[in-house]
Amino acid sequence: MDIMADNVTSATIERKPKVVARDVNVYYGEKHALKGVSIDIPEKSVTAFIGPSGCGKSTFLRCINRMNDTISTARIEGKIEIDGKDIYDPALDVVQLRARVGMVFQKPNPFPKSIYENVVYGPRIHGIARSKSDLDEIVVSSLQKAGLYEEVKDRLDDSGTSLSGGQQQRLCIARAIAVGPEVILMDEPCSALDPIATARIEELIDELRSNFTIIIVTHSMQQAARVSQKTAFFHLGVLVEEGPTDQIFTKPRDKRTQDYITGRFG
C-alpha cells in the first residue's frame, strides 16, 4: 500500500497558521454563544466551518474581522491573532484590520453604483490608489482574480445590481480583493445562488486559495468537502472537532461529528 498517498496527501500537510484563536468565548448579553474555541487556521488554504443552525459558525467568523464589535450586546473573551499579532489589541486600527480581513456575505450586496465604482470604493477610502490609471489597473486585476472581467469588461459603467446573482457575488469578491486582503471570510456565499453559479464560485475559491487564506461558513457538507482542506465542526457553541477535511468526512473522531455528517441531525 502507498502509505504516502494514504496518510500524507497534500491536503493533510498543514500550512503555517495565519489565524490563531485561543479559548474564544462570545456572549450576546446573557447568552453564551461561543464556548472556548481554539483553532489554527492555515494560511493560503480553505477552512470550512460546518454545523447545525445556531451553533456559532457565523459568530466565530465575525470575531476574525471584529464585525461583532458592531453588535452592542456582543462581548468577546480569549485571544485571536493574525500573523502572531493580537487583533483585539486596543491600539489596533479596526478599519485597517477589515482591509486585511475581507468579508463576503450570504446575499450578494453590491453597492447601487457602477461595477467600476464597486471595485474602487475600498481602494479609494483606504488611500491605496488615487490616480485614475492606478484605479483602472485595480479594477481589471480584481475583476480578473474574481473571474468576472471577461463578462463585464465592456460594461464597467453599468450598475452592479444589474448583474446576475452569481455575477454579483463575484463582484463582491472582486470588491473584497481590491484592497489587497490576506484573509477572506465567506459567510455562506452560495446560499442565494443556483447550482451553476455555485459551481463557478467554488472554482473561484479553489483558484483564490493560492493567494489568500479563506474561511467559509457553509451549510452544505458537499461544498465543505469540495472546497476546503480543513474543516471545523461546531455544535451548540462548541468547536467539537477540526482536522483535514478528508479525515473529518471519512473518519470523524467524535460521535456528534459522525451523526452530523451522516445526516442524523442538523
Ligand X SMILES: Nc1ncnc2c1ncn2[C@@H]1O[C@H](COP(=O)(O)OP(=O)(O)OP(=O)(O)O)[C@@H](O)[C@H]1O
Kindly list the distances between the CA atom of residue 19 and the CA atoms of 7, 28, 97, 258, in Å, as whole numbers in the listed order. Answer: 25, 23, 13, 26
57 binds ligand X (CB under 6 A): yes
In angstroms, give the least distance from the CB of 29 to ligand X: 7
Q: Which is nearer to ligand X, 106 or 247 (CB)?
A: 106
- Residue choice 9, 16, 38, 54 for contact with ligand X (CB under 6 A): 54
Q: Quick one: which segment of 11-19, 56-64, 76-84, 157-165 binds ligand X (CB under 6 A)?
A: 56-64
In angstroms, give the least distance from the CB of 114 to ligand X: 31
Q: How many Cβ atoms are within 10 Å of 202's Cβ, its own excluded?
A: 18
Q: Which amino acid is at 114?
A: S
In angstroms, give the least distance from the CB of 56 to ligand X: 4
- Residue choice 24, 40, 47, 56 for contact with ligand X (CB under 6 A): 56
Task: Give the Cα-Cα-Cα angle 46, 47, 53 (nearest 5 degrees).
Answer: 130
Q: Quick one: which segment of 4-12, 46-54, 162-170, 176-184 binds ligand X (CB under 6 A)?
A: 46-54
Could you give the CA distance from residue 25 to residue 260 in angstroms, rounded to a whole number? 23
Could you give the CA distance from residue 190 to residue 108 in angstroms, rounded to a whole number? 9
DSSP secondary-structure letter at 189?
A: T
Q: Is 115 exposed, middle or buried (0-12, 13-18, 19+ CB in 10 A)?
A: buried
58 binds ligand X (CB under 6 A): yes
9 binds ligand X (CB under 6 A): no
Q: Which is nearer to ligand X, 71 or 125 (CB)?
A: 71
Q: Which is nearer to ligand X, 54 or 137 (CB)?
A: 54
Could you give the CA distance from residue 266 to residue 264 in angstroms, rounded to a whole number? 7
* Phi then psi dihedrals of residue 148, to 5 deg: -120, -15
Q: Which is nearer to ligand X, 160 or 237 (CB)?
A: 237
Q: How many Cβ atoms are within 10 Å of 157's Cβ, its own excluded?
A: 9
28 binds ligand X (CB under 6 A): yes
Could you give the CA distance from residue 176 to residue 157 in angstroms, rounded to a whole number? 19
235 binds ligand X (CB under 6 A): no
Using CB under 6 A as the criterion, what x/- string covers residues 65-94 for binding ligand X? ------x-x---------------------
47 binds ligand X (CB under 6 A): no
53 binds ligand X (CB under 6 A): yes
Give the footprint of ligand X on this chain (CB under 6 A).
Answer: 28, 31, 33, 51, 53-59, 71, 73
